[in-house]
Amino acid sequence: MTNWKYMKKDELEKQFSPSQWSHRMSADDVIKAHVTALKAGTERARGLAQTLLNVPYGDGDGEKLDVYVPSTCSLGVPLVIYLHGGYWQFLSKEESGFMAVPLVGKGVVVVAVGYDIAPKGNMDLMVSQVRRSVVSVIQQYSHISGLYLCGHSAGAHLAAMVLSTDWSQYSVRPQIKGAFLVSGIYDLLPILSTYVNEPLKMTEEVAVRNSPSQLVAQLKAASSDCDIVVAVAQNDSPEFRKQSEDYFQALQSSGLKVTLEDVPNTDHFNIIEQLVDGEYHLTQLLLKAVGKG
């Protein structure tokens, strides 16, 4: 495949337009269906779990969490933090509780994190917010048996940035046991010249310091004990697939505990939507990871 540096702008834009690659429906329809699926799943989760909505983790308006608690909540429960996708400019925590549907019944707490999407938030701010959200969760839920991260697309990027944090600058050092990075972007340089960067306004310097692919040594220092799953959809674009494969290889070469899951019969959207289903492959992997499989 051609190196992205040699692609024309329109080809690069297509590579980073996930909706163009779905085999299920048109680009516009797959996005509409995605939002509908996430909202419906979150509604279901809110009916099944005890919820604590809009819990602040900072002073900013967007710095809030939604917590989905099992009805039979004992000490020592695993907790999964979910970071939503939407290219750092769409979606919110309001439709990000769907994965609690199969998890709360198994005694797993799910936390959906809100952050300031662009243009209100810039990349440095979003990364800082998700890091602080994890610190806040640790402080509020000190009795959990294990902390796990899951992020989709832009949220997978943010989860990888959390794993790469220098925690010496924070009041606690979270011990993240597992991370599920689903259809993520780990090198931001290819999107600088695309439509994705228009609301983000990233410079090359900002993109480099917020690219997990550049921070593998920091990740090893901060999260060497974390079991990482890099998951990618069969029908993600070639560039999206390459991002996952390259990041997986970089982590593996550093001696980290990482597996690559190439999920058949999925695209960029239903690879995460299906976490609402307890029988889905990634849900089963997640349940196993948290000790509930």
Instruction: Give Cα separations from 259 to 162, 224, 246 (angstroms).
Output: 18, 14, 12
Q: What angle do CA 45, 87, 196 make, to 5 degrees?
A: 160
- Burial per residue of 264-278, b for 16 or more beta-carbon CB atoms within 10 angstroms, e otherwise: eebbbbbbbbbbbbe
Active site residue 136: no
| List 128, 133, 136, 153, catalytic entry | 153
Active site residue 183: no
Active site residue 236: yes
Q: Rounded to whole angstroms, how far apart are CA atoms 67 and 81?
A: 9
| Contact by Cβ (8 Å): 240, 183 | yes
| Contact by Cβ (8 Å): 242, 261 | no
What amino acid is encoded at 269 in this protein?
F
What amino acid is encoded at 13 in this protein?
E
- According to DSSP, residue 171 is labeled S
Strand bridging mode 109-113 / 146-152? unpaired
| List 236, 237, 244, 267, catalytic entry | 236
Active site residues: 153, 236, 268
